[in-house]
Amino acid sequence: EPEVTQTPSHQVTQMGQEVILRCVPISNHLYFYWYRQILGQKVEFLVSFYNNEISEKSEIFDDQFSVERPDGSNFTLKIRSTKLEDSAMYFCASSESRANQETQYFGPGTRLLVL
């Protein structure tokens, strides 16, 4: 069964460093998303992406964040200068289409720790 994959599974970085989190969505899916979950809290929407552009973003998704689909398979989230409060689990998700509000399938997540 096709699934969303994410790398790395864990990342530790120093405050102020740039990190890139990678995702490979399900191959025939067209809509891509990033969510984050701070430990012990609810999952929060960050951004959605379609047709090589951002379709919606939350207030969390400030200028320190960017997303990119550099090729036909990868979908990346970059944090330019990490802060301590960026420590969280980051989930990538993808959905097949917007019509009929297709279900989003989540990857296993990347656990980011900022020291």
Partner 1 sequence: AQTVTQSQPEMSVQEAETVTLSCTYDTSENNYYLFWYKQPPSRQMILVIRQEAYKQQNATENRFSVNFQKAAKSFSLKISDSQLGDTAMYFCASSASASKIIFGSGTRLSIRP
Interface pick for partner 1 out of 7, 24, 106, 113 (rule CB under 8 A) = 106
Q: Is residue 44 a contact point for partner 1 (CB under 8 A)?
A: yes
Interface pick for partner 1 out of 45, 66, 76, 113 (rule CB under 8 A) = 45
Helix extents (H) in the chain: none
Q: Is residue 64 a contact point for partner 1 (CB under 8 A)?
A: no
Q: Is residue 55 a contact point for partner 1 (CB under 8 A)?
A: yes
What are the residues whose beta carbons fall under 8 Å from the beta carbon of 47, sequence distance 6 or more? 33, 34, 54, 56, 57, 58, 61, 65, 67, 77
CB of 81 to partner 1, least distance (A): 25
Using the structure block, give the residue that is written with the tokens 């984050």: 36
